[in-house]
Amino acid sequence: MDQILSKQFADLREAIDEIQRLKSAGQHVEVKRSAAALMFVALKHSNREVKRNIKSGRDELHAEKLKVDMSRLQLQSLLYDVSHLKKEIIKCQKFKSRDSHLELLSDEEYASKLPSSATNGDDKSEVSSHSKHLHRLECELRLRKDLDNQYKSLLTAKQDLLQENLNQTQRYGSFAPALRTLMDSTKPLHDALQLTLDVDWKLSAVYKYLPKPLYILFINLQSLQRINSDAPNKFHSEVVGFENEAHMQELLAAKQKLGFPVENGENGSSENILERLLDPFPLHIRITIFTSDNLHQMELVIRYWGLLKCATVQAQFSSNLAASANAPGDTSFVHDILRHLYPNDFGNEIPIPGIQCELQNLNLTADECLKHLEKNNFGKPFCWLQNMCSIPTVNTANEYVHELNLNKCTREAIARISKRCQSWVELSQQIRGLTYKDIDLDTLKENTAGILSGSLVQWTAITPEDFQAQSSDALNSISDDSTGESSNEVTHTFYRAVIVRGSAKMECFIKIFSNYPLEMPLWILCIHWNGCHTSKNSSAIKMMEYWTNSLRVEDLEPNHQFLFTQLFRTIYSFDIFLETEGSTQTTLEYNKEKPYLNPFTKRIRLRPYKYTKKGSVYAFKQ
């Protein structure tokens, strides 16, 4: 078709050229013009043929496109079916029966409670495991329905008993006026027989005004006090406050419930509003815990807060010794005893469920309440105190805790407080003796190998910066000891001791933890003799520090002086270091005065700090 069109265009061009030539020559061109016009008819016919071919080509292309689109749609449908099947497969794989979340009986309980059902299920070996499981679920459903019926019957019986108790209480309450009249009429007889019935009745009248948590705590304390009357760790509990104040507060609370307006005082600052809202109950409990020598006592003042729905405790320490008023550390340890009584219970938050929301309704926060309690010396709301008062708490892991064995909980808490208080009193006495050098190391248990040659010349308190300036491997070992306490909550006190023997001087830097005796005092040693010797540059000093810090309470007898024993170990280790190290020097300054099991001759051998009994003689060994 292209060649035909090209030939027709060429012929048309030649005819036009011929017409133009004849025109210019002045000849007639009518014949040529008619022939050229006929050529346009052939050209029009060819053009129509070309258009017809193009249309047929487009139709064929459209048909092929339809085929391609159909194939693509079929492929997309297949892909969708594949993805749908994959999702269904995943759903089938993740499918779990609803009974998987149920707590079913164990095989032993199932066989014991439903023996017939279990036997029938075992006999049908041809039945599938799914059918056996369905049979077991049906059996347990029947069992649970029976238990539910039993629970409803027991609940009905309980309600009947409560109604009967209420009727009996009303009957006994009607006897109260007659009994009061009888007691008044027989009062002369009581006075003649010297009976204390009236006094006991008045005391019990005060107890009834206690709030429920404090009442439960006081009853348990009274029972433990009677049981442990002859025990070494004695304590005394009493109710402090006036009956009329408690009665007045009850009347005000009842008046508020009835909707009567109650005057709250003048509207002042936020502190005044906080003081008005945070008003403790007028009656509180005071527990006095005595030490073994009955010369020191620790008082616990327990108050209850109706707004916070919890109890707080404030500790005070007193002594019968006149000299104890000037003793360092006698009263600073009281708060540490309560803070480290149980792990991770520092009293820094209110452990009552939902108390945050209730305080927000009053435009208060828990931190503001705790700061107010601390500012007014009302104590802290420890979790162990709430357990003693049968108050449900939420621990640090946001777990609901409600102690049921109150007697055991109270007895354990009192025993821990008494034991910690006794340990800290003994420690403070030892610190006072070391400060004034009022000590006798010859009476210690470990003094079985001779007399000490070194002597303590100074014991003073130092700042934390002075202690941290020392370098020792013993400081790195503190983080490895896990005591279940947060390092931010443990405080420390630091001391420096100077021990002298001849021209040699040893400085001891002591770190005492606030959670003593959970963590023992840490000693860092530094010897000034022929240079400065520390655990960083001398393995002997490192061994001395280990021998002093390895002492534990379990290694000593009851009521033994722990800090004195550590000092004793340090002094005789200092003597052994000088005697063994002096033998390697050119100038012999210190003779070997201690009895050694084996001769110490080489520098590389371990120092004979340990001691052993060989026959009737105690000797030091490596």
pLDDT exceeds 80 at position 53? yes
128, pLDDT greater than 80: no
For every residue of 458-524, DSSP letters joined together read EEEEE-HHHHHT---HHHHTTTT---SS-TTT--EEEEEEEEEETTEEEEEEEEEETTTTSS--EEE
- Cα separation of 212 and 428, whole Å? 38
- What's phi and psi for 391, nearest 5 deg? -105, 120
Work out the number of other CB atoms within 10 angstroms of the CB of residue 145.
Answer: 10
Identify whether residues 298 and 389 lie together within a single domain.
yes
Q: Considering the domain boundaries, does residue 298 fall inside one?
A: yes
Q: Is 460 found in the same domain as 392?
A: no
What is the model's pLDDT at position 366?
Answer: 87
Q: pLDDT tens for residues 258-295?
A: 555 544 444 455 566 677 778 888 888 999 988 887 78
Asked whether residue 395 falls in the same domain as residue 465, the answer is no
Residue 301 confidence (pLDDT) above 90: yes
Within this chain, do residues 396 and 540 fall inside the same structural domain, yes or no? no
> Would you place residue 364 in the very low, low, confident or very high pLDDT band (cuts 50, 70, 90)?
confident
Least confident residue range of 89-103, 221-235, 267-281: 267-281
391 burial type by CB count under 10 A (0-12 exposed, 13-18 middle, 19+ buried): buried
Of 19, 40, 67, the one marking the end of a domain is 67
**Residue length, the chain?**
622
Among 182-186, 384-388, 394-398, 555-559, the range of highest mean pLDDT: 384-388
Kindly report the average pLDDT of the chain as a whole number: 80
535 and 414 in one domain? Answer: no
pLDDT computed for residue 59 by the predictor: 92
> What is the pLDDT at residue 173?
79
**Per-residue pLDDT at 124:** 47
Residue 334 domain flag:
yes
pLDDT tens-digit series, residues 473-517: 666 665 445 455 555 678 888 999 999 988 899 999 999 988 888
The β-bridge relationship of strands 235-240 and 296-305 is unpaired
Lowest mean pLDDT across 39-43, 415-419, 574-578? 39-43
Asked which of 18, 41, 67 is the last residue of a domain, the reply is 67
**Strand ranges, E, within 468-521:** 492-501, 504-513
Are 510 and 495 a contacting pair, CB within 8 Å? yes
Query: Do 411 and 464 belong to one domain?
Result: no
Question: Residue 323 has what pLDDT?
Answer: 43
Q: In what order do the strands lie in the sheet with 284-290?
A: 235-240, 284-290, 296-305, 310-319
Q: What is the dihedral of CA 512, 513, 515, 521, to 10 degrees?
A: -50
Confidence band (pLDDT; 50, 70, 90) for 577?
confident
Mean predicted confidence (pLDDT) in 557-565: 78
What pLDDT shows up at residue 178? Answer: 81
Q: How confident is the model at residue 243 (pLDDT cuts 50, 70, 90)?
A: confident
Residue 363 lies in a domain: yes
**Nearest Cα to 419, choosing from 555, 298, 549?**
298
CB 237 within 8 A of CB 221: yes
DSSP type of residue 280: B
Domain boundary among 16, 42, 67: 67
Find the range with the poorest average confidence among 144-148, 240-244, 528-532.
Answer: 240-244
Residue 42: both structure tokens together: 């052939």
- 592 lies in which domain range? 439-480+487-621
- 503 lies in some domain: yes
Distance in angstroms (rounded) separating the CA atoms of residues 139 and 125: 18
Buried/exposed 273-305: b ≥16 CB within 10 Å, e otherwise = bbeebbebbbbbbebebbbeeeebbbebbbbbb
Q: Which of 352, 383, 384, 385 is nearest to 369 (CA)?
A: 352
* H or E element at residue 612: strand 610-614
Mean pLDDT comparison of 145-154, 203-212, 559-568, highest-scoring range: 145-154
Q: What is the per-residue pLDDT for 377?
A: 87
Beta bridge partners of 610: 621
Q: Is residue 102 part of a domain?
A: no
Note the pLDDT tens digit of each residue in 333-344.
Answer: 787 888 888 888
427 pLDDT more than 70: yes
Q: Which of 125-129, 288-292, 323-327, 445-449 has the lowest mean pLDDT?
A: 323-327
Across the range 61-82, mean pLDDT stands at 94
Are the CB atoms for 213 and 304 separated by under 8 Å?
A: yes
Do 238 and 290 reside in the same domain of the chain? yes
* In-domain check, residue 201: no
What pLDDT shows up at residue 43?
83
| 246 CA to centre of own chain | 36
Residue scoring higher pLDDT (519 or 260): 519
- The tokens of 484 are what? 């279940």
Residues 376 and 448 placed together within one structural domain of the fold? no
Of residues 544 and 197, which shows the higher confidence score? 544
Same domain, 388 and 450: no
Q: Are residues 414 and 443 in the same domain?
A: no
Q: Which residues lie below 8 Å from residue 79, measured CB to CB, with a gap of 6+?
A: none
Q: What's the pLDDT band for 186 if we cut at 50, 70, 90?
A: confident
Whether residue 401 is found in the same domain as residue 471: no
Q: What percent of the chain has pLDDT over 70?
A: 79
pLDDT at 585: 64
Same domain for 583 and 493: yes
Q: Is residue 382 part of a domain?
A: yes
The answer to the question of residue 239 being in a domain is yes
Query: Token pair of 267, please?
Result: 């509207």
Using DSSP, state whether 114 is helix, strand or coil: coil
Q: What is the pLDDT of residue 324?
A: 46
Structural domain count, the chain: 3
